[in-house]
Amino acid sequence: MSTTIAPPAARHGIPPGLRAARRTATAATGESAIARWILIGIALAYLFLFLGLPLFVVFEEALKKGVGAYFTALRDAELLHALRLTLLVAGIAVPLNVVFGISAAWAITKGKVRGHALLVALADLPLAVSPVIAGLTFMLLFGMQGWFGPWLRAHDIQIAFTVTAVVLATIFVTLPFVARELIPLMEEQGVTEEEAAVTLGASGWQMFRRVTLPNIRWGLLYGVVLCNARAMGEFGAVSVVSGRIRGQTTTLPLHIEILYNEYDFTAAFAASSLLAMLAVVTLAAKHLLERSHHAARARLIQEQQEKQP
Amino acid sequence: MKILKTIARLTLALGFVAPIGGTAAAQQKVTLLNVSYDPTRELYKEINAAFAQEWKRRTGQDVEIKQSHGGSGAQARAVIDGLEADVVTLGLAYDIDEIAQRGKTLPADWQTKLPHNSTPFASTVAFVVRKGNPKGIKDWNDLIRPDVQVITANPKTSGGARWNYLGAWGYALQKNKGSEAAARDFVARLYKNVPVLDAGARGSTTTFVERGIGDVLIAWENEALLSVKQLGPDKFDIVIPSVSIRAEPPVAVNEVVAQKHGTSKVARAYLEFLYTDAAQAIAAKHYFRPTGPRSLAKYGDSFPKVPQFTIDQLFGGWAKAQKTHFADGGIFDQIYSTAGK
Amino acid sequence: MTPALPRRSATSARTTPRVRSVLPGVRLTLGFTLAYLLFLVIIPLSTLFVRTARLGWSGFLEAATSPRAIAAYKLSVGTSVTAAVVNGVFGLLVAWVLTRYRFTGKSIADALVDLPFALPTAVAGVALTTLYAQNGLIGALFAPHGIKIAFTPLGITVALTFIGLPFVVRSVQPVLETLPKEIEEVAATLGADRWQTFRRVILPALTPALVAGVSLSFARAIGEYGSVVFISGNMPGRTEIAPLLIMSKLEQYDYSGATAIAVVMLLLSAVILISAGLVQRRAARRAA
């Protein structure tokens, strides 16, 4: 049995340098090969049944009329505009929610703020709201029958049925994701490391960058991936606030619905496959980040170990 | 202090508000927003191009028509909530009535402003059956046979499906010398044969066509013709019943908004253009029945003859029909609360 | 402020009124958090309650507790709970397999997990109905045995399972990844078999994340509309979910009636989320 124990710094990421040691440990802490393969089999079967097959259907329908029709559908100007708008909306909503997520998690877990259970619940609340209702709330605020609509109209400002409204609805729907990932993580980590850094004279920013960020990065990354995927795919809330003006406020999911309702199934599913691929790209980016980071971390540990003996 | 600062920062970040797309200042080019219902994109795309040409010829001005499509009710709600439509072209008059009543952006008597109840082109309710009509479905009364499964959408969530329901009701009413009880019984039996009530008309088409469920799909004639052409001419037939309802998708200028945009004139011209021979020909191409007498004479023969009743004749207008049949606790709900038991 | 207030800070509240921490930036982040929540959550959601209040108490009861509405809540809650539990079991398994084992196609499997987020719900609904209808790839397997999936509550559960899966996997995965392996090694040294180690050591550490994931999956499922309408069949009283009732109220321009049902559902899932938060915190305290 191996007695190799990871240095404290490597607790939250497993450098490849330690993988060999880990593998020997598997005999004691891992499952038998049979159990492992059964578990993998069940998990893969489940994923295949619930996720793989629907994805297959999307591509099958998209390619039903041939590859040519597929690419023709993807070159449509309105579709490309919808794609750009979706990326823009995600590009605004995700960073804002990242800032919010980090700041909420910081205030709640490190500040030991009073009533923090209430704050956590509030940050979760958007998840409890049906997307259509989420959209409706913004109509009740900015619509002509809403609280601020008439005032805004009198001042020649339009929010409802503009890209602004689409962004707002998307922020609302995806607001909890980053905070959700970070709060438990940072709570578990406590404050000792940061306090030590501050005591040693680190500035707030230094402490955040050198201590907090490395500790939370995987949770943060997951949060971003989730937030981004949901931001790009959101349909219900956006459909209420966008006004669906073609080539102006239709996001990709809205455009897909419109195509579908026009019996243009090929184009609808081609556009869907585009969204699915965007999700895969996000995931690939995450994997690359993780891998390059692991490599850097491994090098660092190796250097340290070489210095020490 | 810091809180205030962050609030200020936040509002700044969120404050990228867009100014209203006022076009009054632009002398050269004018933009109209046409808020329409679901499957009319191709139709209006063609009509818009034709109108832009015509308008340029007449006034020398360029006109761009932006389009918005969605479920008729959802689109009307958007207009009520302030979507700045210059014209609305929806699936049923009830939705425009609601804009008049709640949004107050167009007059209550909007339907009298243009010919034929402000309906430039109409349709009717027809049946789609499987190729060769294996169940021998010829008329409405075949739909209540116990061996027939009927596909139609939920009239509570789909405007288009309300026409289907009223078509069945009107048929039974006429057949039974105006007996409401008989009509109600007929409709209840019909909906007992419906295995899936999709939320929208497109959903029920998919259920019928792609899932292979049901023997007959009730649909607007133009949508029936379009879907058969797009989804499988060799797999389906269209059956026209002995009598049907005249489906009237009306149009109106959203006057308050158009005035604000300074587009009243061009908006009105746009809607009037829908009645011209050129536009009626385009509509006929997209399977809508023209309403102009000359276009009727020209294209009438390409549509099967079917005696049609209107919603005003049999139901006393949309407001009444909506309240009696589709409001919460209305006849449609009653049918289901008894069917469940 | 609230009964859920942690006891520790209550006792020390006297010395520092709101914040007690040597760490910088707490006031700034707190201010930002509060402002963000105020503008983007509290004010928008308050519109629902204000609009519902227009109905008056009796009007609210009538809209929110009609037999139709009650049947719809039951269906929505039942199918959402089932889906959340199924996801709890299989999501945990998937997360475990993805973090602990190495096999070919692992990155693809990992990427697949986010699919339900990325696909617009309507597309998911259509794709699932295509598969689970009687003439679909999967539906055809069950149809001969008299089991119908699409257009039954079973179909609704399938759709809700689909949309909720990522919540569980993505909640559990990071925790599983950072779980120090040494504990398991110690447990093994002390003679625990693998199953005991899992039940006594790993599962308690995962519980907070698992509870979070399952409750999120539930909350998301109960409000879901886009994908369910395609597969549910929408038969009043039988397969009519609560969000569909909201849509049919909206179709009658009955905003207040729609918000009344929305408020009931909001409270329902808020209760679930908050109690999940409490369970989580208790589990975390026990594990610490």
Q: Which of A141, A262, A265, A266 is the best substitution to test chain B (most B C-beta atoms within 10 A)?
A: A262
Which pLDDT score is estimated for C270?
85
pLDDT at A15: 45
> Is A281 inside a domain boundary?
no
pLDDT over threshold 50, residue C4: no
Pick A164's closest partner by Cβ from B17, B21, B82.
B17
pLDDT of C208 over the 70 cut: yes
d(CA B106, CA C282): 59
From residue C54, alpha-carbon distances to A119, B81, C60 in Å are 28, 18, 9
pLDDT > 90 in chain A, percent: 36
B20 to A149: CB separation less than 8 angstroms, yes or no: no
Average pLDDT over residues C264-288: 79
| pLDDT of residue A30 exceeding 80 | no
Record the tokens describing residue B102, joined without a space. Answer: 């709640």
Query: CB C224 to CB A130 under 8 A?
Result: yes
Phi-psi region of A287 (alpha: psi -120 to 50; beta: other; left: phi over 0): alpha
* Amino acid identity for residue A77 in this structure: A
Give a yes or no: residue A220 inside a domain.
yes
Domain assignment present for residue A299? The answer is no
Read off the pLDDT band of A9 (50, 70, 90): very low
How many structural domains are present in chain A?
1
Q: Nearest 5°: phi and psi at A91?
A: -65, -25
Q: Does A215 touch chain C (CB under 8 A)?
A: no
Taking the Cβ of residue A196 and every Cβ of chain C, the question of whether any pair is shorter than 8 Å is answered with no
- The reported pLDDT for the residue numbered A138 is 94
Does domain B122-247+306-339 fall under CATH 3.40.190.10? My reply is yes
- Angstrom CA distances, C138 to A57, B163, B195, C129, C150, stand at 12, 35, 20, 10, 10
Residue in C65, C248, C255 to test binding to B, most B beta-carbons within 10 Å: C248
Report pLDDT digits (tens) over A230-285: 899 888 899 889 999 988 999 999 998 888 888 788 898 999 999 888 877 877 77
Lowest mean pLDDT: which of A302-306, B171-175, B214-218, C53-57?
A302-306
- Rounded to whole angstroms, the Cα distance separating C51 from C54 reads 5
Q: Report pTM.
A: 0.85
Across A73-77, A295-299, C9-13, C88-92, which has the greatest mean pLDDT?
C88-92
pLDDT given for residue A28 in this prediction: 52
User: How high is the mean pLDDT of chain B?
Assistant: 88
With a cut of 90, say whether residue B133 has pLDDT above it: yes
Closest CA to B276 of B22, B34, B25, B47: B47
Residue A85 predicted with pLDDT over 90: yes
Whether A15 maps to a domain, the answer reads: no
B162 vs B229: which has the higher pLDDT: B162
Query: What are C144-164's pLDDT values in tens digits?
Result: 998 999 999 999 999 999 999
CA distance A298 to A301: 5
Closest CA to C163 of C89, C216, C100, C104: C216
What CA dihedral angle connects B27, B31, B32 and B35, to 10 degrees? -160
- Architecture of the structural domain at B26-119+248-275: 3-Layer(aba) Sandwich (3.40)
* CATH superfamily, with its number, for domain C44-287: MetI-like (1.10.3720.10)
What confidence score (pLDDT) does residue B14 get?
A: 42
Instruction: Report pLDDT for B339.
Output: 55
H helical segments located in chain B: 2-14, 41-59, 72-80, 93-98, 115-118, 159-175, 180-192, 201-209, 221-231, 255-261, 264-273, 277-285, 293-299, 311-315, 318-321, 331-339
Minimal Cα–Cα distance from C224 to chain A, Å? 6
Residue A304 falls inside a structural domain: no
- pLDDT over 60 at A94, yes or no: yes
pLDDT tens digits for range B149-192 = 999 999 998 999 999 999 999 999 999 999 999 999 999 999 99
Percent of chain A with pLDDT over 70: 88
B32-36, B107-111, C19-23: segment of lowest average pLDDT? C19-23
- State the average pLDDT over residues B56-79: 93
C198 touches A at CB < 8 Å: no
Instruction: Indicate whether B211 pLDDT > 60.
Output: yes
| Amino acid, single-letter form, for residue B309 | F
Average per-residue pLDDT for chain A: 83
Residue-level pLDDT at B12: 43
Which has the closest alpha carbon to B71: B35, B110, B97? B35
How much is the pLDDT for B193?
95
Q: Which domain holds residue A179?
A: 88-250
A171 φψ region: left (φ > 0), alpha (ψ -120 to 50), beta (else): alpha
Q: How confident is the model at residue B115 (pLDDT cuts 50, 70, 90)?
A: very high
Question: Above 90 in pLDDT, residue B208?
Answer: yes
Bridge partner residues of B239 (DSSP) = B127
Residue A296 falls inside a structural domain: no
In this complex, which chains have at least 3 CB pairs below 8 Å with chain C? A, B
Provide the pLDDT for residue A45. Answer: 92
Tell how far CA C122 is from the center of its chain.
19
Which sequence spans correspond to the domains of chain C?
44-287
Please tell me the predicted confidence (pLDDT) of residue C21.
62
In whole angstroms, what is the distance from residue C148 CA to residue A7 CA?
A: 56
Q: What is the mean pLDDT of residues C79-107?
A: 92
How much is the mean pLDDT over chain C? 84
Please give the sequence-ordered ranges of beta strands (E in DSSP) within B81-146, or none if there are none: 87-89, 121-130
Question: In the predicted model, is pLDDT for residue B9 greater than 60?
Answer: no
Where along chain B do its domains lie? Answer: 26-119+248-275, 122-247+306-339
E strand or H helix at B34: strand B29-37
Q: Which of C114, C117, C181 sits opposite A25 (nearest CB)?
A: C181
Query: How far does Cα B124 stand from its chain's mean position?
Result: 11
Question: Per-residue pLDDT averaged across B270-281, rounded?
Answer: 95
Residue of C nearest to B162 (CA): C251
Q: What is the dihedral of CA A61, A67, A70, A75, to 10 degrees?
A: 170
* Residue in A96, A144, A163 closest to B13 by CB: A96
Task: State the CATH number of the domain containing residue A153.
Answer: 1.10.3720.10
Average pLDDT over residues C175-184: 80
Tell me how far apart the alpha carbons of residues C163 and C223 are, in angstroms, rounded to a whole number.
11
Tokens, residue C49: 């309650």
